[in-house]
Structure 1
Amino acid sequence: MGLGLRSFTARTETGEAVLDADNGEELIHIQPSIHIVFNNLSPFSNGTLYISTKQVIWLSDEDKSKGYAVDFLSISLHAVSTDPEAYPLPCIYTQIDNDADEDDSDDSDSECNVIHDLSKIREMRLIPSDPTQLDTLFEVFCECAELNPEPNDEEEEEHDWAFNTDQTENEEPEEEGYVSQNPANSLGQSNGNHDLARTVLELQINDKRFEDAEEMENNGDGSHH
């Protein structure tokens, strides 16, 4: 889960958003004439949208001290909304996650459009003045979302055993019939298949018993038929 919505005021001398180029952040798309809406508040109008490889930034064109940003890791859902019953204007609808506890109370003043606590913002709508740009914006969102997968998605479970080569080369059998506990040396251990390894172990144990029985028979009376 990401950090949620935050204020963003870093601008260049020409008024554009400042990106973290030192850490590999790159600008993907700029969309002018964007209104932005949080939760059920009134829209903030006349802004420019900057979409980078890591985040979505909206900067007001009228108030240079006003701007907002949200990381793609904090955006749990994005979609094109054209249903007037959901919202009167076509827009990109997003849901925002953050580390704050869920709270149904809306800590904002809808009448004067003041946000008291950005952690309460769970929804964001981006309304372009040109609705034909919605598909382009959606495609850019999809592209950047793929660049920022959830951490759990990257931690795929490995089924094949990993082992140290030095350990397997230096490991010597302790006694006859010994089966190495190192997964790399146990037949059938890869991909979690333990049944075959257990069968091999049982066979080796039985072979050992047969050898012991034969020795006892030979040493018992000195004769063998």
Structure 2
Amino acid sequence: MALGLRSITGEPVIDRENGEELMRVQPGVDIALANLPRESPGTLYITTKQVIWVSDVDKSKGYAVDFLSISLHAVSRDPEAYSVPCLYTQIETEADEDLNSDNSDSEESTQVHDLSIVREMRLIPSDPTQLDSLFQVFCECAELNPDQNNEEQEEEHHDWIFSADQMEDAGAEDEDYLSHNPTNTLGHSNGHQDLAHNILELQINDERFEDAEETEHEGDDSHHH
């Protein structure tokens, strides 16, 4: 699924066959993309997978963005941040590395022609009291579309946690493995078992080192007597 904002024409298309559901329809919503002037008025459609805005003035003009592309959403009521209360969103794009967000002049001139690099979207309801409920719907839909990269990182993090028993078992398995595969040395990773084995090996070596120190001290003491 492509990242970023995209242009749509006509009424919103909802993929009900794949489980997409309409969660909220909010009329009277203006939209402002990046640093461009706000567009008004329009109707906001929030589904379980995407956010869609369609102009009331020109029904053939609209924008859509998947929740997977929305990295942040928040209610903004600070007039220094924006002139009117709005629902502020940040959008992940495929061109993030190529565009300098501080260069607002080039951003404004470029984004008119290429929606895929728009990083910010503000939704401005005519009734500001609707902001909190819109924010809540955004939260619910965002939970239905978790970031797969974050999930994979969490799984990888948990996989690196070993108990003492696991390290001992993995160490025994690795000893058998190494006896049949002598070329598999410390410099070549063999997944979690190698890591556990290396940790266990370091612990064993530390214990041997401590034993050696004790023996040496005992020898020194015997010389003094």
Q: Could you tell me the TM-score, scaled by structure 2's length? A: 0.65
> Of 142, 145, 148, which residue of structure 2 is paired with 1:148?
145
Q: Which residue of 1 aligns with 2:197?
A: 194
The alignment partner of 1:194 has SS state of helix
Amino acid in structure 1 at the alignment position of 2:99: E
Report the Cα offset of residue 180 of structure 1: 3.7
Which runs of no fewer than 5 residues in structure 1 stay unpaired?
Answer: 12-16, 162-177, 183-188, 203-225
Give the superposition deviation at 1:78.
0.9
Q: Following TM superposition, by how much is the alpha carbon of 1:147 offset from its aligned partner in structure 2, in angstroms?
A: 1.4
- Name the counterpart of 2:52: 57
CA distance in 1, matches of 2:115, 2:5: 6
Match 2:36 to one of 41, 60, 65: 41
2:120 aligns with one of 100, 123, 137: 123
Q: CA RMSD in A?
A: 3.1
- Using the alignment, how far apart are the partners of 1:197 and 1:85 within structure 2? 57
Query: How big is the shift at 1:136?
Result: 0.6
**Contact between 2:10 and 2:61, CA under 8 Å: does it hold in 1?**
no
Q: Secondary structure at the match of 2:20?
A: coil
What is the TM-score when the length of structure 1 is the normalising length? 0.65
Number of matched residues?
171
Q: 1:194 to 1:40 in 2, by over 3 A?
A: same
SS in 1 for 2:65: strand
Q: Aligned-pair distance for 1:23? A: 2.1
Q: Is the 8 A contact 2:87 2:123 kept in 1?
A: yes
Distance 1:126 1:195, change over 3 A: same
**Structure 2 partner of 1:108:** 109
Matched residues in 2 for 1:10 and 1:152: separation? 33
Among 114, 134, 138, the residue aligned to 1:137: 134
Q: C-alpha separation between the residues in 1 aligned to 2:4 and 2:198?
A: 48
Matching residue of 1:205: none
The answer on whether the counterparts of 2:36 and 2:108 sit within 8 Å (CA) in structure 1 is no
Q: How many Å apart are 1:125 and its aligned residue? A: 0.5
Runs of 4+ in structure 1 deviating by more than 4 angstroms, as ranges, are: 195-199
* Contact 1:4-1:99 within 8 A present in 2 as well: yes
Relative to structure 1, the CA distance from residue 198 to residue 88 in structure 2 (aligned partners, 3 Å threshold; closer, same or farther) is: closer
Q: Distance in 2 between matches of 1:196 and 1:6?
A: 50
Q: Secondary structure at the match of 1:108?
A: helix
Q: 1:195 and 1:39, CA in 2 relative to 1: closer, same or farther beyond 3 A?
A: closer
Match of 1:170 in 2: none
CA contact (8 A) 1:35 1:43 kept: yes
Pairwise CA distance, 1:131: 0.7
1:5 aligns with 2:5: yes
Aligned match of 1:88: 83
Q: Is residue 21 of structure 1 aligned with residue 30 of structure 2?
A: no
